[in-house]
Structure 1
Amino acid sequence: MIQSMWLTHWRGQLSVKPIMTRKLRRRPNDPVPIPDKRRKPLNYLLTDEQIMEDLRTLNKLKSPKRPASPSSPEHLPSTPVDTPSQRYEARIEEGKLYYDKRWYHKSQAIYLESKENTKISCVISSVGTNEIWVRKTSDSTKMRIYLGQLQRGAFIIRRRSAA
């Protein structure tokens, strides 16, 4: 306490003042200052309905299969994963996206069309296991596009020349 404060006595009054110190260089045992990292905002374009639909699909896939009883409809052959809501064929294999009978890869120039008929010029920045990340060429912001969104037609991918 005495090192950080000093006392002054002036005309019968006692006051406490902090000692002003200047750090000219970092001491060997001081921790290294962490720089403040600014990240670009991510645009999530999922509606609540799309999120709930994806969660229901995931829960169906994760739920353990119980032995089917003859009275339940589970003993009937299951329908394929392709449902009427799936309009486009889309899958990811070995770090590449297969969409609408074409293969797409990282750093490929594309057009991304949405339901609102907006056409965005993008570049595929990465291909994950269940999603792709694209970077808009206009402002360099990144967007995550899920495989389910491509299958439903919420987003449509078209090739564009890299010129």
Structure 2
Amino acid sequence: MLQDLDILEDWTTIRKAMATLGPHRVKTEPPVKLEKHLHSARSEEGRLYYDGEWYIRGQTICIDKKDECPTSAVITTINHDEVWFKRPDGSKSKLYISQLQKGKYSIKHS
């Protein structure tokens, strides 16, 4: 069984060893980048509200992504967190509402 004197000796040895290592450096993590919503976008009752305009299923829209040519599409479905659309070539894709809010994509009426 350990005696108080043994514990104190061990503690003193640990403290001396820590002192020789130098000051304790706390690794700081970079601040968390809060993503601001640049655009207003939300869905309500099967409709999409984006930058002051309402969009509904069946409407033709123009989808614009930075550094790419605008694309024409027809809205097929609007959910609480995503918008599905169909391109003229028949392919279907989706946009997350968060992508619209962050400005990764923008849409407008055609």
TM bucket, shorter chain: 0.5 to 0.7
Return the letter of the residue paired with 2:63: L
- What is aligned with 1:99? 50
Return the letter of the residue paired with 2:104: A
SS in 2 for 1:150: helix
- What is aligned with 1:129? 80
Q: How far apart, in 1, do the equivalents of 2:38 and 2:68 lie?
A: 17
Superposed counterparts of 1:50-69, under 5 Å: none
Q: Structure 1: where are the runs of 5+ without partners?
A: 1-82
Give the superposed CA RMSD: 1.2
Q: How many residues align?
A: 77
TM-score normalised per structure 1: 0.45
Where does structure 1 differ by over 4 angstroms across 4 or more consecutive aligned residues? none
Q: Structure 1, residues 13-66: CA drift from partner, whole Å, max 9, x if none?
A: xxxxxxxxxxxxxxxxxxxxxxxxxxxxxxxxxxxxxxxxxxxxxxxxxxxxxx
- What is aligned with 2:41? 90
Q: Which has the higher contact order (CA 8 A, sep 6+)?
A: 2
- What is aligned with 2:3? none
Q: How far apart, in 2, do the equivalents of 1:118 and 1:85 lie?
A: 25
Kept after mapping to 1: 8 A contact 2:42/2:80: no
Q: How far apart, in 2, do the equivalents of 1:87 and 1:140 lie?
A: 31
Q: Structure 2: where are the runs of 5+ without partners?
A: 1-33
TM-score normalised per structure 2: 0.66
- What is aligned with 1:147? 97
